[in-house]
Amino acid sequence: MWDGRKDTLEEQALGPMESAAEMNLDMEQLPIILGNIPGYAVLFKEAFPNQSDPISAKNVAKAIATFERTVVSGEAPFDRWIKGDEAALSDEEKQGFIVFNSKGGCAGCHSGWAFSDSSFHDIGLSSEDIGRGKLLPKIEKMQFAFKTVGLRNIALRAPYMHDGSIETLEGVVDHYNSKFIRRPSLSDEIEPLNLTNEEKKQLVAFLKTLTSPDEGVSVPVLPR
Ligand code: HEC
């Protein structure tokens, strides 16, 4: 099933098909708005020299993608464990990894090095935003579907979900355990987990091992 995925960061940033839902305005208006901010005119000229029209939608996409490539996370305790350092994780955290892959069913979507399948799913949040459904109105499973979020540095990113509706990782685990909304678009992979309190604690402990001790991303000061 085609879920409207775009492969490169540039394509994702540009998103011409969904411009109404992107940056909350028509993509054609964006260069005009930016061009009226003197600080941006200078910065775009510097970043894209020798171009007659440096503030274009294409260059905006390039600039955003270039920033996104600086958002990287370093080695986390989990990575040291995978490399063979048995002492990098506690027994509770290791048990949590087992729950993540088995009873919790998390790895079905949070897979690979970034813990994301880069695909879109409805996980039953109560937000009224139909997400990917705006782009693919006829595909039932894309209603209320959002892109699987990678889980690296997750402990530093509360509140959780696209609408920030879940405050804590414990709350996230409770959501998947039983609190999701049932509707036709709900992913087939979301079902009651019947986790014990111990398993819930193990899962949260594991999620915290994905956080690297690096500095994080500094937010640039933007021209206004
Ligand atoms: C059916 C696919 C799927 C499964 C299974 C799944 N997730 Fe998710 N997960 C998602 C999607 C999609 C999002 C983003 C939802 C949104 O923002 O609307 C998400 C978001 C999250 C977030 C919040 C990320 C953030 O930065 O806000 C955490 C934490 C998380 N999942 C952990 C888990 C855990 C733990 C499990 C197993 C108990 C799990 N997920 C199972 C698809 C899935």
Pocket of ligand 1 (CB under 6 A): 104-106, 108-110, 121, 123, 125, 146, 148-149, 151, 154, 157, 160-162, 172-173, 176, 187, 189-190, 203
> Which residue out of 115, 126, 161 has the highest number of ligand 1 atoms within 8 Å of its CB and is therefore the one to mutate?
161
Active site positions, annotated:
22
Gap from CA of 31 to ligand 1 centroid (Å) = 34
The pLDDT, as a whole number, for residue 90 is 98
Nearest in space to 114 (alpha carbons), one of 143, 83, 147: 147
**If you search the block for the tokens 């910065």, which residue do you land on?**
43
Nearest in space to 18 (alpha carbons), one of 139, 161, 131: 131
| Cα(223)–Cα(134) distance, integer angstroms | 31
**If you search the block for the tokens 């899962």, which residue do you land on?**
203
Q: For the ranges 18-22, 68-72, 107-111, 130-134, which has the lowest average pLDDT?
A: 18-22
pTM equals 0.82
| Cα(217)–Cα(69) distance, integer angstroms | 11
List of residues 6+ apart from 110 with CB closer than 8 A? 100, 116, 117, 148, 150, 151
57 membership: H or E segment, kind and range: helix 57-68
List of residues 6+ apart from 208 with CB closer than 8 A? 93, 154, 155, 169
The pLDDT, as a whole number, for residue 26 is 78
| Cα(217)–Cα(215) distance, integer angstroms | 7
Omega into 159 within 30° of 0, i.e. cis? yes
Gap from CA of 60 to ligand 1 centroid (Å) = 29
Gap from CA of 150 to ligand 1 centroid (Å) = 8
Domains of the chain in sequence order: 9-68 (no CATH), 77-208 (1.10.760.10)
List of residues 6+ apart from 85 with CB closer than 8 A? none
> Which residue out of 73, 106, 152 has the highest number of ligand 1 atoms within 8 Å of its CB and is therefore the one to mutate?
106
**Which comes out higher in pLDDT, residue 156 or 171?**
171
Mean local confidence (pLDDT), 138-161: 95
